Every structure is written in C-alpha cells, then in structure tokens.
Amino acid sequence: MLTSRRKIIKTVTAAGAFSLFGFGFSHTANKMLKTVFDKESTLDPISGYAPKPEFNVDLKTGELTTNPNQTVSYTMCMGCTTVCGVRVRVDNETQQVLRVTGNPYHLLSSDPFLPYETPIKESFQALSRFQEKGLLSRSTACGRGNAVLEKLRAADRVKVPLKRVGPRGSGQWAPISFEQLVKEVVEGGNLFKEGHVDGLRAIRDLKTLIDPEQPEFGPVANQLAVFAPFKDGRLRFAARFAKASFGTVNFTGHRSYCGLSMRSGYASLLGNWKKQPHLKPDFANAEFLMFIGTAPGNAGNPFKRQGQLIAKSRSEGKLKYVVIDPVLTNSDNMAASDRSRWIPIKPNTDGALAMAMIRWIIEEQRYDEMFLRQPGPAAAKAAGEASWSNATHLVIVETGHPAQGKFLRSTDLGAVFVTKKGKKPAAVVIDSVSGQPMAHNKAGEAELFFTGDIELSDGSEVAVKTSFSLLREEAEKHTLEEYSSICSIPADTLADLAREFTSHGKKAAVDTHGGTMGSNGFYNAYAIVMLNAMVGNLNWKGGTSASAGRFKEIAAGPRYNLKKFKGKVKAKGVGLGRQRFPYTKSSEYKRRVAAGENPYPTRAPWYPLSPAMSSEYLTSALNGYPYRLKALILWSANPVYGIAGMEAQVKEKLADPKELPLIVSIDPFINESNTYADYIVPDSVLYESWGWASAWGANLTKVSTARWPVVEPAMAKNAEGQVIQMETFFIAVAKCMGLPGFGENAISDKEGNQFAINTAEDFYLRAAANVAYDSGAVPEAKDEELALTGVDRIAGLLKSTLKLEEWRRVAYVYARGGRFENSDQSYKGNKLKHRYKKPMQIYDEELATARNTLNGEHFIGTPTWVEPKLADGSLLEKTFSTSEWPFKVISTKSNLQSSHTIGIVSLQQIKPKNAISMHTLDAEKLGIRSGHKIRVITPGGAVTGVAMVRNGIQPGVLAIEHGYGHRELGARAHRIGNTIQKANSMAGYGVNINDLGFSDPTRKGLSVLADWVVGSTARQGLPAKVERV
C-alpha cells in the first residue's frame, strides 16, 4: 500500500523474506476445510497461547497482585555489549523465561528511571496502566533484548565439557567429566595421541625467560594467552585468574577489532592511553549533535539509551543532529523533519571532514576562546570553565633538538621539580597579561598562537609553538575545497556544518565510533573528537561526559578487597601484540643498532600507545614474533569470525596442534574460533550467571548492574555439585595448581579476616556487599521484596556467604538489579556533577614522541588528515588502486544481530539474511538490481550475496551488515559422543564482511590490515570489485 505512492522506495531491510504481515492471501478452500479438523486448542480462545500476565494492578487503588506461578526478577541482559538492566519473567514450574523487558530502576532501559529507594512493589506498579504510570516509567528491552532468551534453550548449546576426538576443527567431540578436563588441561601429556602437550602447570613458569636474548618478553607464563572480549560483568574474574594469579601479561579484550580507533582518538584527546576513556554527548540537553561514523538509535553503545534519548530530544526537546556516514540507517527519521539529517560521505575520509571544519572554525575565530586560553585547572576554575586544554602549551619544534616534539617544561626554564611517579614538570605557556613564559598551572589566560624562540635556563634558545598553532598548521595543509573533494561533501556544507556546530555554545558535540575502523582510523578519530575541544563542551550540561562510572564492586571496596590477595602476581613483559612497549627499548632494537644496522623496519609493527592488541595475538603467536604461544584460552571469544581477514590467515595453522599446542575454550556454543579448540568448557547463558557490569558511557550518574541466576543454569555439574562455568573452571584449575587468589585465604575484609573463593558466589556476593556499602549503605531488604523479585531463591546463599549485617543489604541490591545513583545527581548548575579532570589535549606529546616501527618515523602530535595507509605508512591506494578496485566495502552495525545471536528465530524472522547494499548509480552501470546475486571480491577473499540497490548509500560503496554469514554457531553439525547435532541452516544465512579482510603486504608473515598508528583492525573502506553471479 505505502509502496504504491510515488517517490517511495520500500527497502527490503525490515521485512526481508517474510512479507509484512505474513502470507495473508495464500489460503485455499482446501486449507479452509482442513482447519475445521486440525484446530489445535490454545490456552484461551481470545489470547491464544499468551501466558497469564505476571501481575494484576487494580486501576482504582493501584494495588498489585502477583501471579504465583511466575516471578519477575531484575537482572542483566547480554544480548549485546551494552548490557542493560532488564526484568526477566520466569515460569516458576518450568523455569522457562517467558519474556524480557526493561528494569525501571535502570538508566540504560528507562528515561526517566525510578529513584533507587522506590519500593519494589511500586516499581512493578510503575509499569502498569495505573494512572498511566507505565507510559512514563516505561522500561524497555530492544528487539535483540526481547529475543535472546531463545539462546537459553538453543539446541546446539554445550552443556558438558568436551574434548576433541578428531583432528582440530573436525567437529568431533567426546563428552568428558569436569575432573578429567581439569586434570588434562593442568597436567598435559599425550592427550590426543599426537605427542606430548604441555599443560598449564608446566607453562606457569614465572622464572624462566621465554627468550634469554630478549628478557623484556618476560617469563614463560606469558605463553598462555587468555581472550576475554565480553565485558559482561565477569571479566574481572577471568582477569584475576589470568593476570594476577597465573601471571600472564596476555589477557585481552576485543577493543582492537571493535572500536580501538575511536578509543585511541579519545585517548589522545583526553590524555590517557592506558585506560582510553571516551566521551558521549549529553543527549538530553544538547542542541546540535554530529554523529560521524556512528549511528545512534540504529546501533552503538549504549544502544537503547542513545535511541531513547535521541527520539525524545528530536521530538520534544531542542536537538537537531546530523549523521555523517556512508550509509543511511534508522538514525535518521523523516518524521522528525529537519531535526535529523543524513549526509553521505566517502569511507575513511571523516578526518578530511573534521579537519575542514577545524580549519574553518579557526579561520573564522568561531572556537571557544575562553575555554582554549585557560592553560590549567586553576585558570579554568577562575574563568568559570568546567575543563581546560593544552591549546596554549608550548611544544619544542626545533628540528634535531633532543626534546623535539615534547612540551617545553618549567624545568627547562630552571624550575625545581621533585620527581614523583606519574607526574611531570609543568608545561610552559605565554601568560597573556605578562607576555612572559609561565608554568601552565600558575599562569592566567595564555596566548593561543605564540610561535617563537624561548631562552632556556642553560642560555640556549629553542623554537616553540603552541599546540593550537600546530593544530592550525595541520588544518591549513588543505583548503576547504581540497577537503571537500576528498570526502565528497560540498565545501559549502562543510562550512555550514562548522557554523552550525559553533552556534550553540557548549551545547553541541560530536560522537564517533566504528565507522572510523579503517587503516587511517586513528587520525580520523582524533580529528573528529577534536571538534569537542573547539567548543569546550567537556563536563557541561548539553556538552560531553566521560561517564559517571560505577560503584565499587570487584575492587578494593568498603567491605572486601577483591583486588589484592596474598601472592598476587604482577605480570610482566612485552605483550603478544607488541603493545604498550616502545620498540626502542627492546633487545632487538639495541642489537640492530649495535650491529650498525638500521633498526627499522621491524617484522611487524610495535604499538607503543595501544592497550591489549587482541587482533594481533593469533598472528603474532603463529608468526613467532615477538614469541609463540603454548596455550590459548578463549572465553566467550570469537576472534576468527570477528576480525576482518583473520580466518583466511590462521585457519590452517590453528588446525595444526604443533603451531599452538593447547586451545581451551569456555563457551556455551561452538563458534568459528573454538571449533579449533581441544577442549570446550560449558558456560552459562544470559540470566544464569553472576556478574557486575556498568554503563559504557552516556551515564551522568553512577551505574552498577547486577546479574544473578534468575533461572536454574542448564550446565552439567561437577563432582562437588557446582554448575560448570567459567568461574568453576578457573577455580578448579587454580586450586589444582596451587595458584594464589583462589581457594582458602583469597579475600580479605577490612579487619584482615580471610575468606575463600571456592565458588563463583564467594566472589560475586562479596562484590555485591561492596556495592551495598559503597557511598553509604543501602537499607535492608524486607522479606516481601525478596519474595516479589525471586531474590528469596538465593537468600540462603546470601546468608551462608555473607556477614549477618550484610546479607539483607545485598538482597536490597539484587532485588533492584544493581545499584544506581539517582538522576538528580546528574548536574550541578549548568555543569555535570561527575567530571573528567584531565585536560583536553590539542597536542598529544605521547603520540608525537612515538614512532611507526616499519618506517621509523614519528607520528604527528595533533589531528591531521591522512589517507588510508598500509602498516609502513605507504598509501593503501598505491598498492590497491581505485582503477583495479573501484569500490570500497564497509561494515555496518546491525540493530538486530550481535556477533553471537545468529539462529535466534524471533530475530531472524525479521531479517533472515543481510544484503550487500550498493548505490543505484553503481548498480545501473553493472546491470545489477535488488535481489540479484553478486560477488564482492577484495585482495583477501570473496563473498557471494544478495544485492540491495538503494539511494541511501554513498556511490562507490558496498555496505555489509555485521553478524551474518556464520559457518558455526549451529550452521554446521558437530558430532558429540554418538550424537550428531542437527544443523540450523538459518545460522549460515547471509555473508560475513570479515571474509573480505586481507593481510598487509608491507608486513612479514600472517597479518591483517590495520591502522598504521594504533593497529585497530581495518574493516572500513576495504578495496573491492563487484560482479553479478
């Protein structure tokens, strides 16, 4: 009907293979006759199979009556990395989860969210029609959050420990006991009749060096790597085992193949490479937002909160926003009229857009001068600013000077500085009033554009420029017209964007994310996020926030110290991804220099700035550079599927036990990575486990989300009667090996009493006690609240694990699904209450003094425009020219699928498979129409999928939604014991963008294309060609 209107093109995105409302017109008389006899009776002639409601609320009195056969519990979702607080409705008898919606206390699911002290009964009432409260206190789950409960009962779920019985990757497994699993993994031996395999006991050697010639690599224990990519609230338990107890440095998340480019851009801006904090706009109060390479409401983290706030702000608030991305998504909304707008851009050119805006803003003097001129915290405070920057700090630019690229320090001018860990002498600025060089923390307003020579205390002179001058120079390297032709956005539009962005004071912000994951991603991201500094929006209402953080849980908390323990190891050594360690301090560098050789290039890049580089782990281990692995533990990890180009690089070597002798996976499902495992340890799914998570961003108040088993876990139990999951496994391994931090005396309280970690509960419940007492103790829960929320099921555990005075307070926390600061703590006047303290860095000294180890060159210390590159800094275009590869492939994030949700019927019924989007103009040239089968070819591989021809995409771009094209997760049938699983063909539908990734020809050995500065995997802008099949 709607499709018949002119100018309307219905996309195949939503309804896909299933038409809108089913197949209404296909019935025949034959079928009609059949129905009279075949009718299946339902629970109710009107409501069919719908279970009875969980509550009944009297609309006159508001009185709540609960359904005695169901329980509603507040816990945590794990459908994506946002990990929202949810309410889970469970059938008491069958222990089946009936439905999942949001937790009304939780900021990630509700806006407004309920005050924390709200009684449970009122929280349920608040969801009802009583006084129409449910419309205001609505607390939601997204499509995925509604659907993921299917995973609990998935047919292909692993519930018992498995050991491979065929060659690696052959899909043949034997169920084994937990005790056999632990023994074999710890002790090793001739486990597969393929020869001896070292067990974890042999590998956990903290004394013997991996390579005495290269002592910086650290001990043999580093030859165990543990992947823990999902911050689902249990990661710090895994970290305790891997880093602090076993003692390997190689414990890694997923950042390097997720959003490392964005995180690195912010690391530079916010001056913290180790933790990589990042900013999110204050969606509720901003007036103008630019989303570059990110799509709020369509995807991103926190998914629902961004979507909800943007929906509200564009209809009821003052917000206007622009989404700048190669692909049109649900971030745009035509009904919102001019409040929302999509501007297409060429992939990998966001930096040109941002530098153009920076150039225009500086030239037109539209930057927030008051903010930028404040050189330190004291000056900023006096000026009424909420943050400050290093825009006025002087950088030594004298060519060949030993401190070139570094800030001029007060000590250079003769100041006395007492060395303190983590502290540097003050930087120097030109004080505006006196016109003299002064320490940044002493000066008032300072000069933004000083360039000149400064006399040092030793009498020498050195050429310096302010950070802001250096930024201006970089921005002025190209004209607006040049930037325009690079990114394909008209120069007038660039200027208009810059004008609009600087027309709202501090109530404007930019946000970016995965769209920057190209091989020039770092500088694109740094340039984008620098726009926030141009308007000085950090810590302002309507500006940006670095998150309010969380309560102390798995920490040195107010009740228990869950960080420190006797015998805790401080893992040491160069990480497997050659990260956070300067190559210039390595033995290799010293040896090459001593031999008179050029120390550059290295076999593979070193990443002195980046944190754990998981996307380098597999290739590094298999290349043996810096060193090989003896064992790999994958927990909830699927790097082979998730890293662009990885599968083709590693599949043969991973299948060869000689290359990597022991692979253990802890996972409820068999995926594209653990299909190569030697052992699979079953793990909990969703609402079966314990955990403590928080919001990833966009939280102006503190959030600590509790996950607790609201249904009986489906995994098998060990001989001690504990369900088998990650924690059970690590505890058993640690105890078997006698490692510190587990078993007896693993936790201490304030009085020095010692407690054991023999179960997951021993750990997480004490974290809960920390939460309950942090920043003032919560009240004690009454029996009624325990009964209403199902916390009565775990009351026995709380009592037996915790102290008498603790357990009811902990129950209060679990009853509410965590602990949340009230929303009235968001602001203090027109500023945020929780503020980021460090300055915004217009110039990043750490960046400027680091080098690319393939070409030996320093990086530029401010944002700048660089084209997509290879690892050695040469242009991608030079090796993979547009004439040969006329298209660019990009990955888009799905609003339905995560990397691990394929096969869920209630999701896949909406979009059974992904399509390959291309622009109408490109398709016309190639004779391609929507629905045609097409093949996309890159230097690394090819995929064949279905074309979707549309106008909502930049010409020359092929876009593929991530999450489809699985080869495992049910797509392939494994043999377990004598049972062959039933394959789920739906799980294999569509194509995987990551099959199109490729290795970097400027690197030796196995590799994937990555950003040339920080090593983030390139999945955006892969050169490609396309053909009809």
| Residues 254-293 contacting other proteins, CB under 8 A | none
Q: How far is the CB of 371 from other proteins (least distance, A)?
A: 24
- Convert 667-676 to b/e letters by CB count within 10 Å (16 or more is b): bbbbbbbbbb
Q: How far is the CB of 294 from other proteins (least distance, A)?
A: 14
| Residues 77-116 contacting other proteins, CB under 8 A | 98-102
Query: β-pairing, 631-635 with 662-666?
Result: parallel
Determine the Cα–Cα distance for residues 752 and 565; give it in Å rounded to an integer. Answer: 11
Token pair belonging to 225? 């790597």
CB 704 within 8 A of CB 819: yes
Determine the Cα–Cα distance for residues 981 and 983; give it in Å rounded to an integer. Answer: 6
The closest of 290, 298, 339 to 318, measured between CA atoms, is 339
Cβ proximity to other proteins: between 822 and 906 the closer is: 906
Token pair belonging to 405? 């690229």
Q: By rule CB under 8 A, what string of x and - marks binding of each residue 46-75 to other proteins?
A: xxxxxxxx-xxxxx----------------
Where are the alpha helices (H) located in 624-759, listed in sequence order?
Answer: 639-642, 646-654, 726-737
Query: β-pairing, 827-828 with 831-832?
Result: antiparallel
| Binding residue for other proteins, selected from 30, 36, 400, 658, defined by CB under 8 A | 36
Other beta carbons less than 10 A from residue 851's beta carbon: 17
In this structure, what DSSP letter does residue 823 have?
Answer: G
Q: Is 48 exposed, middle or buried (0-12, 13-18, 19+ CB in 10 A)?
A: exposed
| Binding residue for other proteins, selected from 30, 41, 208, 365, defined by CB under 8 A | 41
Q: How far is the CB of 40 from other proteins (least distance, A)?
A: 5
Q: How far is the CB of 931 from other proteins (least distance, A)?
A: 15
Residue positions counted in the chain: 1029
Cβ proximity to other proteins: between 526 and 989 the closer is: 989
Cβ proximity to other proteins: between 40 and 93 the closer is: 40
In this structure, what DSSP letter does residue 444 have?
Answer: S
Residue type, 604: A
Q: How far is the CB of 293 from other proteins (least distance, A)?
A: 17
Cβ proximity to other proteins: between 135 and 416 the closer is: 135
Query: β-pairing, 831-832 with 288-292?
Result: unpaired
Cβ proximity to other proteins: between 910 and 973 the closer is: 910
| Residues 8-27 contacting other proteins, CB under 8 A | 8-11, 13-15, 18, 20-25, 27
Total residues contacting other proteins by CB under 8 A comes to 110
Please identify, among the stretches 336-344, 585-593, 708-716, 723-731, the one whose residues bind other proteins according to the rule CB under 8 A: 336-344
Residue type, 412: D
Cβ proximity to other proteins: between 328 and 446 the closer is: 328
Cβ proximity to other proteins: between 697 and 952 the closer is: 952
Q: How far is the CB of 326 from other proteins (least distance, A)?
A: 12
| Residues 303-322 contacting other proteins, CB under 8 A | 304, 307-308, 310-312, 314-315, 320, 322
Assess 128 for contact with other proteins (CB under 8 A).
yes
Q: By rule CB under 8 A, what string of x and - marks binding of each residue 804-843 to other proteins?
A: ----------------------------------------
| Residues 129-148 contacting other proteins, CB under 8 A | 129-130, 132, 134-135, 138, 140-147
| Binding residue for other proteins, selected from 333, 441, 561, 745, defined by CB under 8 A | 333
Other beta carbons less than 10 A from residue 493's beta carbon: 16
User: Alpha carbon of 679 to those of 182, 198, 647, 674: distances in Å?
Assistant: 10, 14, 20, 9
SS3 (DSSP) at 777:
coil
Residue 580's region, left for phi above 0, alpha for psi from -120 to 50, else beta, is: left
Cβ proximity to other proteins: between 45 and 927 the closer is: 45
Cβ proximity to other proteins: between 108 and 663 the closer is: 108
| Binding residue for other proteins, selected from 40, 93, 458, 824, defined by CB under 8 A | 40
SS3 (DSSP) at 310:
helix
| Residues 898-917 contacting other proteins, CB under 8 A | 905-907, 909-910
Residue bearing tokens 């007896």 = 744
Cβ proximity to other proteins: between 32 and 595 the closer is: 32
Determine the Cα–Cα distance for residues 707 and 727; give it in Å rounded to an integer. Answer: 14
SS3 (DSSP) at 393:
coil
| Residues 878-897 contacting other proteins, CB under 8 A | 895-896
SS3 (DSSP) at 126:
coil
Determine the Cα–Cα distance for residues 867 and 855; give it in Å rounded to an integer. Answer: 16
**Cα–Cα–Cα angle for 94, 99, 101, nearest 5°?**
145
| Residues 491-520 contacting other proteins, CB under 8 A | 492-493, 496-497, 499-500
Q: How far is the CB of 884 from other proteins (least distance, A)?
A: 29
Cβ proximity to other proteins: between 118 and 587 the closer is: 118
Q: How far is the CB of 91 from other proteins (least distance, A)?
A: 12
Q: By rule CB under 8 A, what string of x and - marks binding of each residue 694-713 to other proteins?
A: --------------------
Token pair belonging to 220? 């043999």
| Residues 441-500 contacting other proteins, CB under 8 A | 492-493, 496-497, 499-500
The closest of 141, 164, 185, 156 to 714, measured between CA atoms, is 156
The closest of 211, 202, 204, 203 to 625, measured between CA atoms, is 211
Q: How far is the CB of 484 from other proteins (least distance, A)?
A: 14
| Residues 939-998 contacting other proteins, CB under 8 A | 950-952
The closest of 230, 116, 167, 352 to 637, measured between CA atoms, is 230
Token pair belonging to 966? 């699985």
| Residues 147-186 contacting other proteins, CB under 8 A | 147, 149
Cβ proximity to other proteins: between 107 and 731 the closer is: 107
Q: How far is the CB of 992 from other proteins (least distance, A)?
A: 22
Q: How far is the CB of 325 from other proteins (least distance, A)?
A: 12
User: Alpha carbon of 549 to those of 158, 538, 553, 796, 831: distances in Å?
Assistant: 35, 16, 12, 31, 17
